Amino acid sequence: MEANFCRFALESLKQKILFTRLEKIYNPYPKLWTFKFSKQGFLCLYASQKGGFFFLRPNNLDNPSSPSPKVMFLRKHCKNRIVKSFSFFWPRRIFWLGFGDLFLELSLESEPKIVEKPILEEVIWPSLEEIDSNKEIFRIYPQISPPLRKFLASLSKERKKNFYLKLQVEKSFDFYIYENNILLWEQGSNVISKTDNPLEALSIFGEYKLKEIIGERFSKLKQQNREEKRLKKILLKLEEDKKKLKKRIELLEYGKLLQANLYNLDRNKKVSKVNVIDFTGNTITIFLDCKKTILENMENFFKQAAKGERGLKAIEKRKQQIQKQLQDVRIKQKQEIKIKQKAFFVPKKYQGLQIKAFISSDGFLILRGKNSKANHKLLSVASPFDLWFHAQDGPGAHVILRRDSKKQEVPLQSLKEAACLAALASYQKNAEKGKVMCAEVKNVRKVKGLSLGQVIVDKILHSFWIDIDPNLETKLRYLETKE
């Protein structure tokens, strides 16, 4: 997220969450944090040096069954506390939520942490001459980001001067949303959207990037599962309310007994309990509110019972509505389950290739060529830090596991699944075990004179000896691609 846009985004975020209550903290995925604020929904923060971003969303994500020690530590110090101050230093894309005695530091580059006080600096703007002469100027002045420097270099001298001045003093801009950034200027034709509302820009960009991080476009089935869970919770809550209301209705009997025995009691006396004769002739004790008279207690019993009756009718009506909604959701779930192939997101650069695309158990996109030509092209469009898999010592398909950066770690389960997909499309497909090599794409070379699909591997990263699961392709989520 570009630093200059971050200035407007943080100012808008401040207006939203200042003086709200931070109710809970979650860490659903590596580097991805969510913070629940009263009345404002969830703040999603993805902390990554190259691709950090944040945005507000109405719903939370699926979370692990048990929170990590880091999450428990943050909850201990910040849970259910009012945000009394909100400060930020936008050039470095960092902000602090103040709770009075401590601050929660949130950065787009590192994970959240507790600090004693924020470190605020004065924003200093370099001269245009300095910007032109120093390619690494963003290291000293982080607001002069590489995209900004590139844009300024494309302008005439007068337009550059005017825009640079406007950038320092202007309060409003249009925001251009791209696949990997939000800018205050138009740069290229592949704009996803344009808006003058920073929170709207954050939402569009954040939801788009979130789907990449999780590794899939949220399916209707997943949404319906969440809706089913929500409706079940409502039904449980209604049952609890129903029990409470029934207890209120039971107070009617106490009211009637007091009414029947009122002639024998001092109605204006305030006591904590009275002994009365019930309708079977037995003596029973009724506990009262000692702040009220016996007469007022009797009236209150009738009043509470009447409320219980009205509430019970409303709950029954609401329960029928929820049960109908739940029935509809379950019908839709069954329909979705029957659809074997769903059109999830596959990046444009892979569309048109003869490949098969899968989502690993951990949400990584895995691509496999269907023929030699596809293998050749797949290697051409893959990023240098993507992982390449191929059956060792024999022919087979090329398999690519996409990564967001060189530093992104891939869980062993996903590595094994990619290796197994490579083995299933090789000479080892009928074997129980297979040997598969893994390398970074940058270390796999296509050499002139070799047949299509044939390569030279300069450096092998891993060599896997795996169990070959013949049913893995049906177990993993399959993505449709346009060939």
Q: Which residues contact 458 (CB under 8 A, 6 or more apart)?
A: 439, 443, 444, 445
Q: Which residues contact 284 (CB under 8 A, 6 or more apart)?
A: 257, 275, 276, 278
Q: 1-123+172-214 maps to which CATH number?
A: 2.30.310.10
Write out pLDDT tens, residues 75-108: 999 999 999 999 999 999 999 999 999 999 999 9
Write out pLDDT tens, residues 141-157: 999 999 999 999 999 99
Structure-token pair, residue 344: 């999830």
Task: Decide if 37 contacts 17 (C-beta within 8 A).
Answer: yes
Q: State pTM to two decimals.
A: 0.48
Angstrom distance (rounded) from CA 314 to CA 372: 66
Q: Is pLDDT of 342 > 80?
A: no
Write out pLDDT tens, residues 173-201: 999 999 889 999 998 778 888 999 999 99
Q: Which residues contact 89 (CB under 8 A, 6 or more apart)?
A: 95, 118, 119, 120, 121, 123
CATH class of 220-337: mainly alpha
Residue with the larger pLDDT of the pair 17 and 333: 17
Q: How many residues does the chain have?
A: 483
Write out pLDDT tens, residues 260-290: 999 989 999 999 999 999 988 899 999 999 9
The ranges assigned to domains in the chain are 1-123+172-214, 220-337, 348-479
Nearest to 180 by CA among 59, 26, 347: 347
* H/E segment holding residue 30: none
- Bridge partners of residue 87, in order along the sequence: 96
The whole-number average pLDDT for the span 328-352 is: 64
Q: How confident is the model at residue 436 (pLDDT cuts 50, 70, 90)?
A: very high
Nearest 5°: the CA angle 366, 371, 372 is 105
* Residue whose token pair is 């005017």: 162
Q: Is pLDDT of 245 > 90?
A: yes
